[in-house]
Structure 1
């Protein structure tokens, strides 16, 4: 007997942000990921709109990993009537809790600042969600083991499989009435400093695969040499090296790299400050889940002891006032908010400052503007001139490039009925579609936002 399964693309379709995919069956409705949109204003405005589905009828949310563009919409989902279970691996739910709490705090602070300083059209400016909203969300979290099949009902089961990218990250295999739906989540890279290589799916009737770098190969950069030279130049100029960083994985990778450079005598003992409350909490998650990463306890402790971890906002200002050359790693990675803005507000107009971008910079973010050579950036209601040197290291990205993505698919033994390309900008999606057709000759579809596809199983 044939059954219909409907997939609705509620985010990260034609763009890299806001991952949400609703699978509707006659028995259950399942949302894979529940991310908020970031970047371009027209995308961010979508966050304030209710989803064009009956949210009360969603039974489960299953999370691939804990990044904001995969979990950041959860509190809004609850406001729209969701009261089911939110499923993920233990590190994913721990990361999600940290990220949601931090995000809510930032939303509250920014709304308060906007109202106080009156740089808003809204009267009053409201937070996207509050810490109280997050507390309600966390109560719905339910941890599941990875590499083990879990039943949702008699005909639907799922499994988390290790996927690199960040601690706790997985791809999801969802079996519905004998057909396998595979959601890649964000795929990590091979030979990562902190994480094991991603596992690969062996069967996929319907494959939903990220395409962030579907049109690119990561450059073969000597990261240690680039970092060493930047640091030595910073010291010679008596300047500051500011590294906006994603709090999850990238920050820990940078800490590890800088500690190793010092141990190898490739850099002097320059003060290194990590200013990311969220990043500090993620460090604790690394300590709690040692089987999910490569760091030994000894390496972890030595790395943390070598670096100054800022605990409060007073220390942020002490660090800014510190006249020594220094390295500052602060959130956020795409310069969309967080502590890094406080440093840039004070130091981006200094020619002796270097800003090092170390990850993907989505369209519409301040990070992308800096990467593209903007002469000024706008935040806190003002424009700030950019006199700092802007550098980037693309090869530190936690996303698989085109070669890694093609390699990740090569374990699939069958020919998928359809491959849906998600989580990519238009150029990356188009190039990746051509590459898949050339390599595997599989059917490939590029869905648009809010597209609905009926599949027969």
Structure 2
């Protein structure tokens, strides 16, 4: 090989499974090692042999800790990867939580499937286990923001704030003089906790996400959540909020506190029912205490901004079971955010049939997920091999999205000091990626391409 290449091993034509392989005469680098989520045909890709021998990868660069960007990493290690994992310190801390939880859930789900016999595989097996995660974590070597790290000869990586979740970053890779910028997941300029994304540096190639590439976020309307909570409490029900354990739970708690202090919703107990979310909450609290440069100055130094006065933590399985049918009106925040797995699935099985309850969806729901089916008005959903009726209210509150929308992504690209040669649009459903690429061409006059899964391209 004489010229550097870029191969799209994931997040091409879909919004999950981010994996981008850079090859040069001096190094092989994988940017993100995400897990596929959503429809079975996508999830099945997690089980396919990796497209290159993991032992030949010199370094993995992680843009942030979400599972669709980190969740395949223990499988890479299980199959032979022994290189360095570069990311921010906060991403390393959160990824440890996310990956341990992922292994636990996979082992738990496999055992549950074997017990009830509803798996197509006999026996059902996890993609990786807790031991694989513990083998992975020593490979993490955090890199400070805006600091270049040498990977190999003529190969460097620099991370800059992405404003998506705590620790999130864009990644600029330089290979033999060619500079490639990976957006990772871009945040918004008005994230309640984080500073906005850093402007793009001068590069030759940009790989940009398109989760919301075909839409703009509506103007925030706090009354949607407030009305849902008030209605539910008045009829004696409970509010169930499936929320991503990292960042989304923090933002939901922040907003619930604000609404309670303003008198817009009644003061009812708020349960956080996710060991991973509780661990992530500790990471955010430490960042507040230490004065992290990623956090907005106005949020630093304040007392616990996540507790409205009656915040209750649920750690044990038995405590979680008691929330399947709460004894009094309450708010339960539980992972996962797309209702695809975790404790929230057990709560849905018990609470969806009761018309007094409300399920609040707080962000993007990928195709094929239980959250997407609820969002689209399904009258019954499948939970652990059985269909349950949807009699509870289902309310969508898009205000919590921490993904840039199409206008915000274009604004970020416009702030680049010079036009890149090519922009590759990834990490979106086909319509979203295609629409964003169209706008990049028409509004910026740049070359924009939606790559195909497995496509390999010369960078020079």
Q: TM-score range by the shorter chain?
A: over 0.9
Task: Say whether 1:293 aligns with 2:322.
Answer: no
- Alignment partner, residue 146 of structure 1: 145
User: 2:450 is matched with which residue: 423, 446, 450?
Assistant: 446
How far does the alpha carbon of each residue in 1:382-403 deviate from its partner, in whole angstroms, 9 at most, with x for none?
1111111111012311100011
Closer/same/farther in 2, CA of residues 450 and 422 from structure 1, 3 Å limit = same
Range with bigger deviation, 295-304 or 342-351: 295-304
User: 1:353 is matched with which residue: 348, 351, 357?
Assistant: 357
User: 1:364 is matched with which residue: 368, 388, 410?
Assistant: 368
Task: Say whether 1:251 aligns with 2:255.
Answer: no
TM-score when normalising by structure 1: 0.97
Q: Which residues of structure 1 form unaligned runs of 5+?
A: none
SS where residue 190 of structure 1 aligns? coil
Confirm or deny: 8 A CA contact 1:286 1:293 kept in the other structure: no
Q: Give me the whole-angstrom Cα distance separating, in 1, the residues matched to 2:263 and 2:51.
A: 57
How far does the alpha carbon of each residue in 1:277-316 deviate from its partner, in whole angstroms, 9 at most, with x for none?
1100001111222313243353326627531111211111
Displacement of 1:269 in angstroms is 1.1
How far does the alpha carbon of each residue in 1:328-375 deviate from its partner, in whole angstroms, 9 at most, with x for none?
111000010011111111110011111110010000100001111111
Displacement of 1:240 in angstroms is 1.1
Confirm or deny: 8 A CA contact 2:59 2:83 kept in the other structure: yes
Confirm or deny: 8 A CA contact 1:239 1:352 kept in the other structure: yes
User: 1:268 is matched with which residue: 262, 266, 274?
Assistant: 266
SS where residue 303 of structure 1 aligns? coil
Confirm or deny: 8 A CA contact 1:87 1:141 kept in the other structure: yes
- Alignment partner, residue 388 of structure 1: 392
Confirm or deny: 8 A CA contact 1:189 1:404 kept in the other structure: yes
Displacement of 1:61 in angstroms is 0.1
SS where residue 359 of structure 1 aligns? coil
Confirm or deny: 8 A CA contact 1:50 1:80 kept in the other structure: no
- Alignment partner, residue 167 of structure 2: 168
Task: Say whether 1:373 aligns with 2:377.
Answer: yes
How far does the alpha carbon of each residue in 1:177-201 deviate from its partner, in whole angstroms, 9 at most, with x for none?
2221000000001111111111111
Confirm or deny: 8 A CA contact 1:212 1:423 kept in the other structure: yes
Task: Say whether 1:326 aligns with 2:330.
Answer: yes
SS where residue 152 of structure 2 aligns? coil
Q: Give me the whole-angstrom Cα distance separating, in 1, the residues matched to 2:316 and 2:403.
A: 31
Range with bigger deviation, 233-242 or 284-293: 284-293
Confirm or deny: 8 A CA contact 2:268 2:310 kept in the other structure: no
Task: Say whether 1:308 aligns with 2:312.
Answer: yes
Q: Give me the whole-angstrom Cα distance separating, in 2, the residues matched to 1:322 and 1:430.
A: 44
Q: Give me the whole-angstrom Cα distance separating, in 2, the residues matched to 1:82 and 1:368.
A: 34
Displacement of 1:121 in angstroms is 2.2
Task: Say whether 1:121 aligns with 2:120.
Answer: yes
Range with bigger deviation, 168-177 or 145-154: 145-154
Task: Say whether 1:112 aligns with 2:111.
Answer: yes
Confirm or deny: 8 A CA contact 1:259 1:306 kept in the other structure: no
Displacement of 1:107 in angstroms is 0.5
Q: Give me the whole-angstrom Cα distance separating, in 1, the residues matched to 2:104 and 2:201.
A: 41
Q: Give me the whole-angstrom Cα distance separating, in 2, the residues matched to 1:289 and 1:183.
A: 25
Q: Give me the whole-angstrom Cα distance separating, in 2, the residues matched to 1:321 and 1:12.
A: 38
SS where residue 157 of structure 2 aligns? strand
How far does the alpha carbon of each residue in 1:252-293 deviate from its partner, in whole angstroms, 9 at most, with x for none?
000011111111222221111111111000011112223132
How far does the alpha carbon of each residue in 1:426-453 deviate from its partner, in whole angstroms, 9 at most, with x for none?
1111111111111111011111111111
SS where residue 307 of structure 2 aligns? helix
Confirm or deny: 8 A CA contact 1:419 1:443 kept in the other structure: yes
- Alignment partner, residue 27 of structure 1: 26
- Alignment partner, residue 438 of structure 2: 434
SS where residue 50 of structure 1 aligns? coil
Q: Which residues of structure 2 form unaligned runs of 5+?
A: none
Range with bigger deviation, 283-292 or 6-15: 283-292
Q: Give me the whole-angstrom Cα distance separating, in 2, the residues matched to 1:302 and 1:69.
A: 26
Displacement of 1:20 in angstroms is 0.3
Confirm or deny: 8 A CA contact 2:118 2:385 kept in the other structure: yes
RMSD across aligned positions (CA): 1.4
TM-score when normalising by structure 2: 0.96
Closer/same/farther in 2, CA of residues 259 and 401 from structure 1, 3 Å limit = same
Q: Give me the whole-angstrom Cα distance separating, in 2, the residues matched to 1:51 and 1:320.
A: 39
Number of residue pairs matched by the alignment: 454
Q: Give me the whole-angstrom Cα distance separating, in 1, the residues matched to 2:210 and 2:188.
A: 13
How far does the alpha carbon of each residue in 1:23-59 deviate from its partner, in whole angstroms, 9 at most, with x for none?
0001100000000100011110010011121221110
Residues 81-230 of structure 1 mapped to structure 2, 5 A cutoff: 81-223=80-222, 225-230=223-228
Residues 65-84 of structure 1 mapped to structure 2, 5 A cutoff: 65-84=64-83
Closer/same/farther in 2, CA of residues 301 and 311 from structure 1, 3 Å limit = farther
Displacement of 1:117 in angstroms is 1.4
